[in-house]
Amino acid sequence: SREGGYGLGRTALPEEIAAWDIDIRPDGTGLPVGLGDVYTGEELFVDLCSACHGDFGEAVGRWPQLAGGYGTLESEDPVKTIGSYWPYLSTVWDYVHRAMPYGSAQSLTDDEVYAIVAYLMYVNDMVDDDFELSNENFLEIAMPNEDNFFMDDRAETEYTLFTGEPCMENCRESVEITARATILNVTPEQEAAAAAEAAAAEAAAAAEEAAV
């Protein structure tokens, strides 16, 4: 039992903290000593990652695209990748290390993560193919989109617009429908099918009853 509080729980041992505390921050806090180059990363990526993310991070099917998309953020169809969108390289290191490969998380060594991150930088046109990433040069890397994020400003930009007594009567001259979901027809069909089935069963039951 410790001083103060409820005296519940026990002291976490250094080995236990080391096993679970794997998070990395933009200032490099948490980064382990290690290194990896683009070529090593490419081999690892093709083996472990490309089945979902494509050989060059271009993505397979619906899986996330990791490279490209530069200059699309203002377009109607923004492509948000590590290169075009992510503000910090530390996030790439942290996330690959903690959660990838999907279905085999935390199976990569520190050097393998450095190499894969180096390859991801390469396919995002951030470095040449002879680049080696390490804990020593990590903080020299700036991501292209870092400055395009800002703190939630809804209090200043929206809340004044969306307060006050709204109109209750004679609020508009006329109303017209401008968009319909049924035109797209992308809603799961089970419901409609079930309803049709039930209606058919009912009709059959009604017919049976009428015949009695």
Partner 1 sequence: MSDTPKFTPSRRQFLAGAAVATGAAATGKLVHAQAAGPDPLITELQPWQQYLGDGVDARPYGMPSQYEAHVVRRNVSWLTADSVSSVNFTPLHELDGIITPNGLCFERHHAGIAEIPPGEHRLMINGLVDNPLVFTMEDLMRFPRENRVYFLECAANTGMEWRGAQLNGVQFTHGMIHNVVYTGVPLRLLLEEAGVRGNAAWILPEGADASAMTRSIPLEKAMDDCLVAFKMNGEALRPEQGYPVRLVVPGWEGNMWVKWLRRIEVGDQPWHHREETSKYTDLLEHGSARRFTWEMDAKSVITNPSPQAPITHGPGPTVLTGVAWSGRGTIPRVDVTIDGGITWHQARMSGPSFDKSMHRFYYEFDWDGRPLLLQSRAHDSTGYVQPTKDQLRMVRGENSIYHNNGIQTWAVNENGEAENVEIG
d(CA 78, CA 71): 8
Q: What is the size of the binding site for partner 1 (CB under 8 A)?
A: 87
Which one among 128, 153, 210, 211 touches partner 1, defined by CB under 8 A? 153
145, 126 Cβ separation under 8 angstroms? no
Q: Measure the CA dihedral 170/174/178/183, to 10°.
A: 100
Q: Does 195 bind partner 1 (CB under 8 A)?
A: yes
Q: Does 162 bind partner 1 (CB under 8 A)?
A: yes
Q: Does 156 bind partner 1 (CB under 8 A)?
A: no
Token output for 83 = 């290169």
d(CA 38, CA 132): 6
Residues 74-133 that bind partner 1 (CB under 8 A): 74, 76, 78, 80, 82, 85-88, 90-91, 94-95, 98-99, 102-103, 105-106
Q: Which is nearer to partner 1, 43 or 146 (CB)?
A: 146
Residue with tokens 């093709």: 46
Q: Which residues, including other chains, have CB under 8 Å from residue 79's CB and lie 6 or more apart?
A: 65, 68, 69, 72
Q: Which stretch binds partner 1 (CB under 8 A): 17-25, 40-48, 114-122, 123-131?
A: 17-25
Encoded one letter per residue, x for contact with partner 1 by CB under 8 A and - for no contact, window 164-193 reads x-xxxxxxx--xxxxxxxx-x-xxx-xx--
